[in-house]
Amino acid sequence: MPKPTLLLLTPLIALLACGDPGGGEEEALVPTWALVEELRIGSLDDEDQALTWIEPHGLAVGPDGQVYVAQRRTAEVRVYDSAGGLVRVIGRRGRGPGEFSHLVAIGFLGDTLYAVERTPGRVSRFTAAGEHLSTTEVAYPPPTPFHSPTPPLRLFPDGTGVLSP
């Protein structure tokens, strides 16, 4: 059985091959796309502003329309306004209330920001303004020779989360 990537590439190659072989003026069958920068956050030149290791579960848009970005390297959540400017930083490296040691995911439940840590397994809650509300320990099932459990990457309004099987 062919690999899925080959199945996806085959129709693309077929479409690309359907162009006008005579080089005429007819409109191409494959649309041309252009990337347009709409917003830039962070900085490539300033290490304190550089964004690193951003994953889909490390991004959230708050109820205020601001962009929240989990930063594993610096153990903090950075908050940016709609123009891409840094507004504030939530948390810092550590193991105390409102601190992170291994930040893996963030999200919002209503107007409450939650931040998930792998080690120690816990979920911290903050106001959108960054005030620490609470921290809850997360009990993981014991690891097996074939699997090490992951922390919840998303939480539901009732407080439950999604873990890997």
Full 3-state SS string of 63-83: CCCCEEEEECCCCEEEEECCC
pTM more than 0.85: no
| pLDDT of 154 above 50 | yes
- What mean pLDDT do residues 25-48 have? 77
Predicted pLDDT at 111:
92
Q: Tell me what percent of the residues of the chain surpass a pLDDT of 70.
A: 72
- What mean pLDDT do residues 101-111 have? 91
Predicted pLDDT at 48:
67
Q: With cut-offs at 50, 70 and 90, classify the pLDDT of residue 26.
A: low
Predicted pLDDT at 68:
94
Predicted pLDDT at 108:
93
Which one is predicted more confidently, 22 or 100? 100
| pLDDT of 99 above 50 | yes
- What mean pLDDT do residues 26-30 have? 71
| Beta carbons of 77 and 90 less than 8 angstroms apart | yes
Which residues does residue 90 pair with via DSSP β-bridges, in sequence order? 77
d(CA 155, CA 116): 9
Q: What is the CA 34 to chain-centroid distance, rounded?
A: 24
